[in-house]
Amino acid sequence: MTPRQAARGGSPRPRVRPESGAAPPPRAEVRPAGDQAYLIRLGDEISAANHARVFGALAALDAARPAFVVDCVPAYASILVVYDPLAAAPEAVREWIDAALAGASRAAPARRVVTVPVWYDPEVGLDLEDTARLLELAPETVVALHTGTSYLAHMLGFKPGFPYLGTLDERLAAPRLPAPRLAVPAGSVAIAGRQTGIYPVRCPGGWRVLGRTPLRIFAPERPEPFAILPGDEVRFEAIDRERFAGLSAREAARDGGTA
Protein backbone atom coordinates (compact mmCIF):
# COMPACT_ATOMS: atom_id res chain seq x y z
CA MET A 1 0.00 0.00 0.00
CA THR A 2 1.44 3.36 -1.05
CA PRO A 3 1.45 6.47 1.13
CA ARG A 4 -1.36 7.91 -1.01
CA GLN A 5 -3.48 4.84 -0.40
CA ALA A 6 -2.89 5.15 3.31
CA ALA A 7 -3.28 8.92 2.81
CA ARG A 8 -1.90 10.01 6.12
CA GLY A 9 -2.33 13.76 6.56
CA GLY A 10 0.32 15.05 8.94
CA SER A 11 0.10 18.80 8.42
CA PRO A 12 -1.78 21.11 10.83
CA ARG A 13 -5.55 20.88 10.41
CA PRO A 14 -6.86 23.96 8.58
CA ARG A 15 -9.88 25.90 9.74
CA VAL A 16 -13.25 25.82 8.01
CA ARG A 17 -14.13 28.72 5.77
CA PRO A 18 -17.62 29.53 4.42
CA GLU A 19 -17.81 28.91 0.68
CA SER A 20 -19.32 32.31 -0.16
CA GLY A 21 -17.25 35.44 -0.51
CA ALA A 22 -13.96 33.55 -0.83
CA ALA A 23 -10.80 35.63 -1.13
CA PRO A 24 -8.42 35.19 -4.09
CA PRO A 25 -6.36 31.99 -3.69
CA PRO A 26 -2.92 32.46 -2.12
CA ARG A 27 0.27 31.58 -3.93
CA ALA A 28 1.45 28.03 -3.43
CA GLU A 29 3.99 27.74 -0.64
CA VAL A 30 6.58 25.01 -1.16
CA ARG A 31 8.90 24.07 1.67
CA PRO A 32 11.04 21.06 2.65
CA ALA A 33 9.45 18.45 4.91
CA GLY A 34 12.47 16.47 6.08
CA ASP A 35 15.18 15.17 3.78
CA GLN A 36 12.95 13.32 1.30
CA ALA A 37 9.76 15.34 0.91
CA TYR A 38 8.34 18.74 0.07
CA LEU A 39 5.09 20.15 1.42
CA ILE A 40 3.05 22.21 -1.03
CA ARG A 41 0.61 24.38 0.91
CA LEU A 42 -2.21 25.78 -1.22
CA GLY A 43 -4.27 27.42 1.53
CA ASP A 44 -5.07 27.15 5.22
CA GLU A 45 -8.81 26.52 5.22
CA ILE A 46 -11.22 23.66 4.58
CA SER A 47 -13.10 24.76 1.48
CA ALA A 48 -14.25 23.48 -1.90
CA ALA A 49 -12.05 26.10 -3.56
CA ASN A 50 -8.90 24.84 -1.84
CA HIS A 51 -9.94 21.26 -2.58
CA ALA A 52 -10.11 22.14 -6.28
CA ARG A 53 -6.65 23.75 -6.08
CA VAL A 54 -5.22 20.66 -4.40
CA PHE A 55 -6.56 18.26 -7.00
CA GLY A 56 -5.67 20.55 -9.90
CA ALA A 57 -2.11 20.64 -8.60
CA LEU A 58 -2.14 16.88 -7.95
CA ALA A 59 -3.23 16.21 -11.54
CA ALA A 60 -0.42 18.42 -12.83
CA LEU A 61 2.15 16.63 -10.65
CA ASP A 62 0.93 13.20 -11.70
CA ALA A 63 0.93 14.14 -15.39
CA ALA A 64 4.65 14.90 -15.35
CA ARG A 65 5.77 12.55 -12.60
CA PRO A 66 9.44 11.51 -12.86
CA ALA A 67 10.87 8.26 -11.53
CA PHE A 68 12.37 9.91 -8.45
CA VAL A 69 8.90 10.74 -7.03
CA VAL A 70 7.71 8.09 -4.57
CA ASP A 71 4.24 9.51 -3.93
CA CYS A 72 2.10 12.65 -3.82
CA VAL A 73 -0.29 12.67 -0.84
CA PRO A 74 -3.20 15.16 -0.89
CA ALA A 75 -4.77 16.68 2.23
CA TYR A 76 -7.29 19.47 2.92
CA ALA A 77 -5.18 22.28 1.50
CA SER A 78 -1.78 20.76 0.84
CA ILE A 79 0.13 18.02 -0.97
CA LEU A 80 3.10 16.11 0.40
CA VAL A 81 5.55 15.16 -2.36
CA VAL A 82 7.75 12.25 -1.27
CA TYR A 83 10.87 11.60 -3.34
CA ASP A 84 13.89 9.31 -3.39
CA PRO A 85 16.85 11.37 -2.12
CA LEU A 86 19.27 8.90 -3.73
CA ALA A 87 17.75 9.50 -7.15
CA ALA A 88 17.45 13.30 -7.21
CA ALA A 89 18.87 16.34 -5.45
CA PRO A 90 16.41 18.54 -3.49
CA GLU A 91 17.00 21.39 -5.92
CA ALA A 92 15.97 19.26 -8.89
CA VAL A 93 12.83 18.12 -7.11
CA ARG A 94 11.92 21.71 -6.28
CA GLU A 95 12.42 22.77 -9.91
CA TRP A 96 10.13 19.98 -11.08
CA ILE A 97 7.45 20.94 -8.54
CA ASP A 98 7.56 24.61 -9.55
CA ALA A 99 7.28 23.72 -13.24
CA ALA A 100 4.35 21.37 -12.66
CA LEU A 101 2.46 23.85 -10.48
CA ALA A 102 2.82 26.54 -13.14
CA GLY A 103 0.51 24.52 -15.39
CA ALA A 104 -1.97 23.38 -12.73
CA SER A 105 -5.70 23.83 -13.34
CA ARG A 106 -7.92 25.57 -10.80
CA ALA A 107 -11.13 24.05 -12.19
CA ALA A 108 -13.16 21.93 -9.79
CA PRO A 109 -12.65 18.22 -10.55
CA ALA A 110 -15.53 15.96 -11.57
CA ARG A 111 -17.13 14.27 -8.58
CA ARG A 112 -18.43 10.75 -8.13
CA VAL A 113 -21.53 10.53 -5.91
CA VAL A 114 -21.44 7.87 -3.19
CA THR A 115 -24.53 7.14 -1.09
CA VAL A 116 -23.84 5.64 2.33
CA PRO A 117 -26.75 3.96 4.18
CA VAL A 118 -26.66 4.54 7.94
CA TRP A 119 -28.67 3.08 10.81
CA TYR A 120 -29.07 5.99 13.23
CA ASP A 121 -30.08 4.41 16.50
CA PRO A 122 -28.70 4.52 20.08
CA GLU A 123 -27.90 0.80 19.77
CA VAL A 124 -25.14 1.64 17.28
CA GLY A 125 -25.11 5.44 17.49
CA LEU A 126 -23.19 5.47 20.73
CA ASP A 127 -23.30 9.26 21.10
CA LEU A 128 -26.50 10.11 19.24
CA GLU A 129 -28.61 10.95 22.28
CA ASP A 130 -25.82 12.65 24.26
CA THR A 131 -24.85 14.76 21.26
CA ALA A 132 -28.49 15.73 20.70
CA ARG A 133 -28.71 16.90 24.30
CA LEU A 134 -25.42 18.79 23.99
CA LEU A 135 -26.68 20.59 20.87
CA GLU A 136 -30.16 21.10 22.34
CA LEU A 137 -31.73 19.22 19.45
CA ALA A 138 -33.97 16.19 19.17
CA PRO A 139 -32.16 13.05 17.96
CA GLU A 140 -34.46 13.05 14.92
CA THR A 141 -33.29 16.57 14.09
CA VAL A 142 -29.65 15.53 14.37
CA VAL A 143 -30.32 12.73 11.89
CA ALA A 144 -32.23 15.04 9.54
CA LEU A 145 -29.42 17.59 9.56
CA HIS A 146 -26.74 14.95 9.04
CA THR A 147 -28.56 13.39 6.09
CA GLY A 148 -29.82 16.70 4.71
CA THR A 149 -26.66 17.74 2.91
CA SER A 150 -23.92 16.23 0.80
CA TYR A 151 -20.28 16.20 1.79
CA LEU A 152 -17.01 16.53 -0.05
CA ALA A 153 -14.39 13.87 0.66
CA HIS A 154 -11.35 16.07 1.20
CA MET A 155 -8.87 13.33 2.08
CA LEU A 156 -8.32 9.91 3.60
CA GLY A 157 -6.29 9.50 6.76
CA PHE A 158 -5.94 8.35 10.37
CA LYS A 159 -6.73 4.78 9.29
CA PRO A 160 -6.72 3.42 5.71
CA GLY A 161 -9.95 4.52 4.10
CA PHE A 162 -11.12 6.92 6.84
CA PRO A 163 -12.78 9.76 4.86
CA TYR A 164 -12.61 13.30 6.16
CA LEU A 165 -15.90 14.77 4.94
CA GLY A 166 -17.04 18.35 5.06
CA THR A 167 -18.59 20.60 5.71
CA LEU A 168 -21.02 19.70 8.48
CA ASP A 169 -24.07 21.90 9.13
CA GLU A 170 -23.00 24.43 11.75
CA ARG A 171 -25.92 23.36 13.94
CA LEU A 172 -24.22 19.97 14.30
CA ALA A 173 -20.79 21.34 15.19
CA ALA A 174 -19.74 19.50 18.34
CA PRO A 175 -16.40 18.91 20.07
CA ARG A 176 -14.68 15.57 20.19
CA LEU A 177 -15.36 13.35 23.17
CA PRO A 178 -13.52 14.39 26.36
CA ALA A 179 -11.73 11.03 26.26
CA PRO A 180 -11.47 8.79 23.17
CA ARG A 181 -12.87 5.29 23.16
CA LEU A 182 -10.42 2.42 23.08
CA ALA A 183 -12.48 0.66 20.41
CA VAL A 184 -14.96 2.18 17.95
CA PRO A 185 -16.74 -0.43 15.79
CA ALA A 186 -16.03 -0.52 12.07
CA GLY A 187 -18.63 1.36 10.05
CA SER A 188 -19.34 3.90 12.79
CA VAL A 189 -20.43 7.24 11.34
CA ALA A 190 -19.25 10.09 13.50
CA ILE A 191 -18.84 13.85 13.74
CA ALA A 192 -16.27 16.22 15.24
CA GLY A 193 -16.20 19.98 14.80
CA ARG A 194 -17.49 20.73 11.28
CA GLN A 195 -16.36 17.35 9.94
CA THR A 196 -17.97 13.94 9.61
CA GLY A 197 -16.35 10.62 8.83
CA ILE A 198 -16.65 6.83 8.88
CA TYR A 199 -14.44 4.48 10.87
CA PRO A 200 -13.22 1.85 8.38
CA VAL A 201 -11.98 -0.62 10.97
CA ARG A 202 -12.40 -1.24 14.70
CA CYS A 203 -9.97 1.14 16.37
CA PRO A 204 -9.62 3.84 19.03
CA GLY A 205 -11.38 7.11 18.29
CA GLY A 206 -12.72 10.28 19.86
CA TRP A 207 -15.37 11.42 17.37
CA ARG A 208 -19.06 11.39 18.32
CA VAL A 209 -20.75 8.31 16.84
CA LEU A 210 -24.24 8.96 15.44
CA GLY A 211 -24.87 5.65 13.67
CA ARG A 212 -23.35 2.82 11.68
CA THR A 213 -23.19 1.86 8.04
CA PRO A 214 -23.29 -1.80 6.96
CA LEU A 215 -20.94 -1.03 4.07
CA ARG A 216 -17.29 -2.01 4.26
CA ILE A 217 -15.63 1.23 3.25
CA PHE A 218 -12.19 -0.39 3.44
CA ALA A 219 -11.83 -3.93 2.10
CA PRO A 220 -8.16 -4.63 1.31
CA GLU A 221 -8.94 -7.92 -0.43
CA ARG A 222 -11.11 -6.23 -3.06
CA PRO A 223 -9.73 -4.92 -6.39
CA GLU A 224 -10.86 -1.44 -5.31
CA PRO A 225 -10.28 -1.44 -1.54
CA PHE A 226 -11.63 2.06 -0.81
CA ALA A 227 -15.37 2.73 -1.13
CA ILE A 228 -14.81 6.49 -0.83
CA LEU A 229 -11.99 8.39 -2.48
CA PRO A 230 -10.83 12.01 -2.15
CA GLY A 231 -12.96 14.17 -4.41
CA ASP A 232 -16.12 12.07 -4.03
CA GLU A 233 -19.43 13.63 -3.04
CA VAL A 234 -20.88 11.63 -0.16
CA ARG A 235 -24.52 11.51 0.90
CA PHE A 236 -25.88 9.70 3.95
CA GLU A 237 -29.20 7.86 3.81
CA ALA A 238 -31.07 6.85 6.97
CA ILE A 239 -32.11 3.17 7.10
CA ASP A 240 -33.82 0.99 9.68
CA ARG A 241 -32.61 -2.08 11.55
CA GLU A 242 -34.07 -4.52 9.00
CA ARG A 243 -32.33 -2.92 6.04
CA PHE A 244 -29.12 -2.64 8.03
CA ALA A 245 -29.22 -6.39 8.69
CA GLY A 246 -29.94 -7.17 5.04
CA LEU A 247 -27.12 -4.99 3.73
CA SER A 248 -24.74 -6.41 6.33
CA ALA A 249 -25.56 -9.92 5.14
CA ARG A 250 -25.00 -8.87 1.53
CA GLU A 251 -21.59 -7.43 2.38
CA ALA A 252 -20.62 -10.63 4.19
CA ALA A 253 -21.73 -12.77 1.25
CA ARG A 254 -19.80 -10.58 -1.17
CA ASP A 255 -16.60 -11.27 0.71
CA GLY A 256 -17.24 -14.90 1.51
CA GLY A 257 -18.37 -14.28 5.06
CA THR A 258 -15.32 -12.23 6.06
CA ALA A 259 -17.06 -8.88 6.64
Sequential pLDDT tens for the chain (259 residues): 443 433 333 333 444 444 444 445 567 899 999 999 999 999 988 888 888 899 899 999 999 899 999 999 998 899 999 999 999 999 999 999 999 999 887 666 678 999 999 999 999 999 999 999 999 999 999 999 999 999 999 999 889 999 999 889 999 999 999 999 999 999 999 999 999 999 999 999 999 999 999 999 999 999 999 999 988 999 999 999 999 999 999 998 887 755 4
Angstrom CA distances, 153 to 16, 30, 70, 156, stand at 14, 24, 23, 8
Q: How far is C-alpha 7 from the chain's CA centre?
A: 9
CA distance 69 to 50: 23
The confidence score (pLDDT) of residue 171 equals 97
The confidence score (pLDDT) of residue 107 equals 65
The confidence score (pLDDT) of residue 64 equals 85
Specify the pairing of strand 203-205 against strand 15-16: unpaired
Angstrom CA distances, 112 to 24, 50, 115, 231, 235, stand at 27, 18, 10, 7, 11
The confidence score (pLDDT) of residue 109 equals 66
The confidence score (pLDDT) of residue 227 equals 95
Contacts of 15 (CB under 8 A, 6+ apart): 44, 45, 46
Domains of the chain: 24-102 (3.30.1360.40), 113-254 (2.40.100.10)
